[in-house]
Structure 1
Amino acid sequence: MEENMNGIIVAVNTGDLDFDKQIDELRLLCSNIGIDIQLEIIQKRNNYDKKYYIGKGKFQDLVELVKTYNIDVVVFNDALSNSQRRNIQNLLEETQIIDRNEVILEIFKRNARTAEAKLQVELATLTYELPKLIGMGKELSRIGGGARGTGTGTRGSGETLLEYRRRNIKDRISHLKKELDELEKVRKTKNKKRNDSYITQISILGYTSAGKSTLLKGLTNDNNILISKKLFSTLSTLTRKVVFPSGLPTIFSDTVGFIRKLPVKLIESFKSTLDEINYADAIIELIDISEENFEDKLKIVDNTIDSILVNDVPKILVFNKIDKLSLEQIQHIKILYPNALLVSAKSKESIHEFLLSLENKLLEYNVIKSEKVFFEFKDMWKLEKLKENIGIKSQIETKNGYIVEILAKENFLNKLKKEMPL
């Protein structure tokens, strides 16, 4: 797909409460792949027109507008059926037509940087493309020659171009699934080791552009973490070590963001990557509180997490970008969401306060636990050895040594109980 194309958005409003937000978001999605939206054609209908998606009269308007404004691409807010796509393309001739799913797939394709992400995007794209071949028309119905089964990939006798294309795509899909299955086995082995480790694992999930990467950068001061205003700039899981003020070491992971009407094929293709949240000890559900429609996005994130979450992983609601709110607005949010944590990911002071609050929340949800341990003065070297797995909440000096309140995962405390009295 070329950059800097003129586009028109075409959408049918069947009564969705978030319809206006869908269109605003589609416009933003288009801008991420170089489509400059010139116009929008919106039609209120109870259902989609079977032939042209919008009514025939509106469609004739579309044809004229495409010519008048030199439109390169027409973007539909919903997936088109094969017959709709064929009918529309016949009248729009050389003008490119794409739907919302294809826009999102294109963004994922451009942002895929790791080998696995590229495989996942290709799988999602081919899985989406396969059913569309049925409606490709007469040009794919020609009979081909050549010997089939020679290993050259040529068409066999009597095999149409349509059948040949479908066979090739099915073969490629099968190959991609096998490659991703192998990578998933490796990941599951790594995740099991991580799950059995004594270090707390936290996954950051949220709406795309909620500030997940910015939060991770703020927690780690790692300037190598990519911060982008573009949607879906992070497709692969990004993992970093974070140390709480108590000294408690924790692994934070940032993965792909969510969005309205995220294509099912994408979720299925990225299932192995998203499945990592099932190995987390806790999930940070990050929401941009400065947006007017944050509650809608919270519901979308909640529903998406519930669709991929298998294990009973505690969810911690975190509102980001509180620096954009007034004090009155912040107080109002605290009343509405008393269990939520607030943070400004770009503020060091806010990050410090956030980590203190998050640690208390981890204790509240039993993600970590605290135990008081007595160390004689001569045994304080043992405490130093433990610091790679623990945090220290308090330390009180007595006549014979120190009473230390330790923070750690339960499995580490159980190990410690066997080695020394608690």
Structure 2
Amino acid sequence: MGTLRNIQLEELEKHFGKAIFDRYNIVMQIFRLHATSKHAKLQVALAEIPFLQSRLKKHDTDLVVSAATDTRHLLLQTREKKIKEEIKKLKSQRELLRCKRMKANFPVVAVVGYTNVGKTSLIKALTGDKTLVPRDQLFATLDVTIHAGILPSTLKVLYVDTVGFLYDIPTGLIECFNATLEDAILADVVLHVEDLSSKNFTHQRIHVLNTLESLSSKMGVPEIQKKLILVGNKYDIGDKSNKSTLEVSSRTERGIDLLKYKLEETILKVTNRHLLNISLPVGGDEVRWLYKNATVVKMKEDTENTENNIVSIIISEAKLNQFKRIFVTS
């Protein structure tokens, strides 16, 4: 099939006297332009190999395959093996980084969706990070990037910006980038951003959800729906017949505060964190420990015991048990 496609393109180029690119090549050109990290460049190089192999087949005769072509095929196979080994090493490094984030105890929110739906713009609105510069381009983000944010309770979270989805590109090409979606599957919450102005709204939703379900099944991560939030972006220019769980505009910041509260509610639920009010001695070791190991939301005087303050905290189950072991005696 690839050889037939190449022949057809060659004939069209001869007829028009111009270079002609199919969908695969256009996407590859975009990938090359936006691959900046070592991981992204390796993924692009891996995705190119099937295309290069098909180009070699174009020059083969029906009965005889030249020694030169054989050599090139072997070189490509060797290159493919080396690239896969490098990607495997980087995957191990990514797993270590994920472990470090887990030890730091910051909830992770993965932001997924089709390319150009406004994922980076939404993260900018959620974090208030003025240094983020969203671009109106396909695949503006090919690398996983991480951005810190704060929710209404002052709980700190990490937003993970992922590679965008695109409809109808070769399966092999998408599979090369599945590694970037692993961060989404393993995140505490998955924020699926939809473009309310898209004419392909329903199809895009189905495609993203099916992909997430398939990947989560392969990775042994059950019930991804429980940590999934649908948010419709571009409400200011969107089709009002397209509906998401939450509707926002990254540009005008409509609905952003409501989204933050929804994120907080979901994070507390899926990460088994507790929102508690505890009466503790003023300036005691307990309060100092909580500042280091939990999120202190607010503090006020305990009217029933003037030596104490009422401390409102968000704390994980593990840290709560640790607090009890240290400070709560029998």
Q: How does 1:155-234 map to 2 (within 5 A)?
A: 160-234=67-141
Separation in 2, partners of 1:107, 1:84: 20
Pair 1:83 & 2:1 matched: no
Separation in 1, partners of 2:39, 2:294: 34
- The change in CA–CA distance for 1:372 and 1:255 in structure 2 (over 3 A counts) is same
Separation in 1, partners of 2:10, 2:142: 32
The AA in structure 2 aligned to 1:126 is I
Q: Name the counterpart of 1:255.
A: 162
Per-residue deviation at 1:374? 2.4
Over the aligned positions, Cα root-mean-square deviation in angstroms equals 2.9
Q: Name the counterpart of 1:134.
A: 57
Greater shift in the superposed pair: 383-392 or 174-183: 383-392
- On the 8 A contact 1:112/1:118 being kept in 2, the answer is yes
Pair 1:368 & 2:273 matched: yes
- The change in CA–CA distance for 1:271 and 1:367 in structure 2 (over 3 A counts) is farther
The AA in structure 1 aligned to 2:231 is V
Per-residue deviation at 1:363? 3.0
- The change in CA–CA distance for 1:366 and 1:199 in structure 2 (over 3 A counts) is closer
Per-residue deviation at 1:253? 0.7
Per-residue deviation at 1:377? 2.8
Q: Which has the higher contact order (CA 8 A, sep 6+)?
A: 2
- On the 8 A contact 1:281/1:367 being kept in 2, the answer is no
- The change in CA–CA distance for 1:408 and 1:295 in structure 2 (over 3 A counts) is farther
Aligned length: 318
- On the 8 A contact 1:282/1:367 being kept in 2, the answer is no
Per-residue deviation at 1:286? 0.8
The AA in structure 2 aligned to 1:376 is P
Structure 1 runs not aligned, ≥5 long: 1-79, 144-159
Separation in 2, partners of 1:386, 1:342: 36
Per-residue deviation at 1:221? 2.7
The AA in structure 2 aligned to 1:207 is Y
Pair 1:341 & 2:246 matched: yes
- 2:237 pairs, out of 324, 328, 343, with 324
Separation in 2, partners of 1:347, 1:412: 38
Q: How does 1:82-161 map to 2 (within 5 A)?
A: 82-87=3-8, 89-90=10-11, 92-93=13-14, 95-137=18-60, 143=66, 160-161=67-68
Separation in 1, partners of 2:283, 2:40: 52
Q: How does 1:291-330 map to 2 (within 5 A)?
A: 291-309=198-216, 310=219, 311-312=221-222, 313=224, 314-324=227-237, 329=240
- On the 8 A contact 1:247/1:390 being kept in 2, the answer is no
Q: Name the counterpart of 2:143.
A: 236
Separation in 2, partners of 1:262, 1:413: 48
The AA in structure 2 aligned to 1:243 is I
Greater shift in the superposed pair: 243-252 or 283-292: 283-292
Separation in 2, partners of 1:86, 1:246: 61
